[in-house]
Amino acid sequence: MNAGREAAADIAANVESFVRDVVIPYERDPRLTSHGPTDELVMELREKARAAGVLTPHIRRDGSHLSQRETAMILKRTGLSPLGPLACNTAAPDEGNMYLLGKVATAEQKTHFLEPLVQGRVRSAFFMTEPAEDGGAGSDPSMLKTSARLDGDHWIINGRKAFITGAKGASVGIVMAKSADGACMFLVDLPDPAIRIERVLDTIDSSTPGGHALITLDDLRVPASQMLGASGEGFKYAQIRLSPARLSHCMRWHGACTRAQEIATAYACKREAFGKLLVDHEGVGFMLADNLIDLKQSELMIDWAADVLDTGALGTVESSMAKVAVADALFRIADRCVQIMGGTGVTRDTIVEQVFREIRAFRIYDGPTEVHKWSLAKKIKRDQLQSTQA
C-alpha cells in the first residue's frame, strides 16, 4: 500500500470509529423525519465530527481531493449509518457539488460558495431534473427546458425543477438552464424569493435533509459572474460531476449494506426456529453467504471504476457499469436482510428497513439501471460497427 492509501486507511479507521461510537446512537433521534433529518440534527452531528477531526475527510486542508480509490475507503465507512455521510459531510448532493466546484469554479466562486460547503457549515442543492408533466429533463438531460437569457450583467432564469434534493434549507444552489448557446450552470445564494418550493415530495427514502422538492424559478436574476464556467458548456460540467457522484453513491450505500448484513447476521445467529439457529437453516445461511459474495463483488467494481477515474479519464462507461452492478447487488443484499429478519426486518427497530428503502431509490437516482444499460448497449453497437468497418 502506498503512502496515500496508508494515510487514507488511517482516516477511514477514525471515521469508522466515529460513526460506530458517536453517530449510530443518533439513529433513533426524534429529529429524524419522513423528509430527512432536521438541519439542527445535521449541524449537531457535524460539530461532533469537527471535534473528532473527521469532518469532510475526503478533502485535504489545501482543498485538494483524495483520489477516488482513497475516497472509497472513507465513504464506505461514513455509510455505515444513514446519518454518517451527513455527519462527516460526505453526503449527496454536497459531496458531488464540492467536487464539481473544486474542478470548475473560479477563485472568487470557491471563496463564496465552496469554502462554506467544505467547512460543513451549509448545505447545497443541484437543480437539474425537471417535472415529467412538463416534458422536461430527467434521465435525458437534452430535454432541458429551464431557460436562461442575458439581461445586461445578469442572467434571467425561468422554469420548473423536480426531485431537487435538499433544496429546503440549502444555502448554495447550482442551477442548470439552457441559454442560446446550450446548457449552462449557475451558482446561486439560497434562499431566493424567485426560487419557490411548490412542495416537498413524499418519497420512499428519508435520509436526506430537506427531502426532494418541486421547484418553480420565476425570473431568477443571477449575476453573470456566478455562471459556472462558460455558456453552453453545462453538459460537459455535468459529466465531470456525474461519474464520481455515481461512484460515491455506490461507496456510501456499500457501507450501509455492510451494516445491514452485520445486523441480519447477528439476528440469524441468536434467533432459533424449528430446533436450531436460523443461520443453520440453509435457506437463511445461504442468503448471508450470497450477501457476502455481493458485497465483495460490489467492492471490486467500485475499486475498478475508481482506478479508471484516477487516471484522469471521465470514466463514463465504467461508472455506468459500476452503478448498475453495485446498485442491483446492494438491493439484493438489503432485500435478503429484510427477509432473514422476518417481521423484525420490516419494522424500524433497526436500520435494515430504511436501508432497503434507500437502496431501492438508489436504483433510480443518478440514472436508472435501464438507462445505463441502454447507454452501454449503444456503445456496444458503435464499437461493433467500427470494428466491422476497420
Domain boundary among 91, 118, 145: 118
Domain boundary among 198, 214, 231: 231
The 3-class secondary structure across 62-81, one letter per residue, is CCCECCHHHHHHHHHHHCCC
User: Pairing state of beta strands 172-179 and 212-223?
Assistant: unpaired
Angstrom CA distances, 70 to 88, 155, 219, 299, stand at 16, 39, 42, 13
Dmax (CA) for the chain in angstroms is 79
Q: Which domain holds residue 295?
A: 235-389
pLDDT along the chain (390 residues), means of 10: 88 98 98 97 98 97 93 98 98 97 97 98 98 94 96 98 98 98 98 98 97 98 98 94 94 98 98 98 98 98 98 95 98 98 98 98 94 95 90
| 242 and 385 inside one domain | yes
> 129 — phi, psi (to 5°)?
-60, 145
DSSP letter at 226 equals G
Residue 165's nearest CA partner among 134, 209, 205 is: 209
| 383 and 263 inside one domain | yes
Here the CATH number for the domain that contains residue 200 is: 2.40.110.10
| 106 and 136 inside one domain | no
User: Pairing state of beta strands 272-273 and 276-277?
Assistant: antiparallel
Here the CATH number for the domain that contains residue 41 is: 1.10.540.10
CA angle 305, 308, 312 (to 5 degrees): 135
Q: How confident is the model at residue 1, as a pLDDT?
A: 62
| 254 and 156 inside one domain | no
Cell of 144: 432541458
Instruction: Give 313-359 as a DSSP string.
Output: ---HHHHHHHHHHHHHHHHHHHHHHHHHHHHHHTSSSSSHHHHHHHH
| 240 and 355 inside one domain | yes
| 154 and 66 inside one domain | no
| 143 and 227 inside one domain | yes
> Using CA atoms, how far apart are residues 146 and 141, in angstroms rounded to an integer?
11
| 225 and 240 inside one domain | no
Q: What is the pTM of this model?
A: 0.96
| 110 and 223 inside one domain | no
How many CB atoms sit inside 10 A of residue 366's CB? 23
Tally of domains within the chain: 3
| 254 and 383 inside one domain | yes
| 173 and 224 inside one domain | yes
Here the CATH number for the domain that contains residue 324 is: 1.20.140.10
In DSSP terms, which residues pair with 147 in a beta bridge?
158, 178
Cell of 154: 445578469
Domain boundary among 231, 257, 285: 231
53 burial type by CB count under 10 A (0-12 exposed, 13-18 middle, 19+ buried): exposed
Cell of 213: 422538492
| 330 and 262 inside one domain | yes
Residues 6+ apart with CB under 8 A from 271: 277, 278
Q: How confident is the model at residue 4, as a pLDDT?
A: 86
